[in-house]
Amino acid sequence: MAVLPIGAPPPPRFVYRLLLEEDFVVAMRAGHPLARKPRRDTYLKASHMLVSAIGDAHGVVDAKLAEMGLARRVALTVPNFTLALAQLAESNLVATLPRHLVVRGRV
């Protein structure tokens, strides 16, 4: 069994069931400079962390940005959301994470 965010149904050889729907937010540590005056240009210039089970430094956010002719700098990838929360709390990185995780983790 795997719990994964997917944009399209998996191949027919898999059985799947929607467990929940979630939105994502940009998260950073308390007092992060971007939190004072969030703007697109400062967001794009920030050092980003990406959660990727396979270590790929290109995710859904990067694909959406590319559609708009924009890009961000992914400085770090981590394999899971728990490590992402710990890293955010102690760094100047920003990350796009599930809202419920950020609210519970109080990043």
pLDDT in tens, 54-96: 888 999 899 999 999 999 999 999 999 889 999 999 999 999 9
pLDDT at 98 over 80: yes
pLDDT at 106 over 90: no
Res. 2 pLDDT band, cuts 50 70 90:
low
CATH top class, domain 24-105: alpha beta
- Sign of the Cα torsion 11, 13, 15, 19 reads negative
Contact of 72 with 62, CB cutoff 8 Å: yes
Domain residue extents for the chain = 24-105
pLDDT in tens, 25-64: 999 999 999 998 899 999 999 999 999 988 889 998 999 9
Residue among 91, 85, 87 nearest 103 (CA) = 85
